[in-house]
């Protein structure tokens, strides 16, 4: 569905950023499903649930500027297994996220 990267927001706070690939975005109904996923994640909280700190479910991958639908959560530090499968990045992901 997408890749998850370690990143940071503009203030330097660590986040996990899920970027959705262009091939997936073009699937019928995908944007609506991703929007529901973000809304559901915002509605839950708990010790083992990282909070959504931002999302852009309407980013246009066809613009050619690297924009992609994305969501960002608090970065959860673990002792051992890393849940983010992408590569670390020092890229700052822009706010405002919410759309």
| pLDDT tens column, 19-38 | 888 788 888 888 899 999 99
Q: Which CATH superfamily is domain 2-92 in?
A: Phosphorylase Kinase; domain 1 (3.30.200.20)
pTM value is 0.69
Using CA atoms, how far apart are residues 31 and 14, in angstroms rounded to an integer?
26
Cα end-to-end distance, the chain, whole Å: 20
Mean pLDDT of 8-24: 83
Query: pLDDT tens digits for 49-89?
Result: 888 988 988 887 666 556 788 899 988 766 554 544 444 44
Q: What is the pLDDT of residue 62?
A: 60
């Amino acid at each position: 569905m997408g890749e998850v990267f370690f990143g940071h927001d503009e203030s330097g706070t660590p986040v996990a950023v899920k970027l959705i690939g262009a091939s997936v975005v073009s699937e019928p109904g995908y944007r609506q499903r991703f929007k529901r996923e973000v809304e559901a994640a915002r509605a839950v909280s708990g010790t083992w649930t990282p909070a959504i700190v931002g999302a852009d479910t309407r980013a246009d991958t066809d613009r050619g500027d690297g924009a992609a639908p994305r969501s960002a959560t608090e970065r959860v530090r673990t002792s051992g297994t890393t849940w983010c499968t992408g590569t670390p990045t020092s890229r700052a992901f822009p706010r405002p996220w919410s759309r």
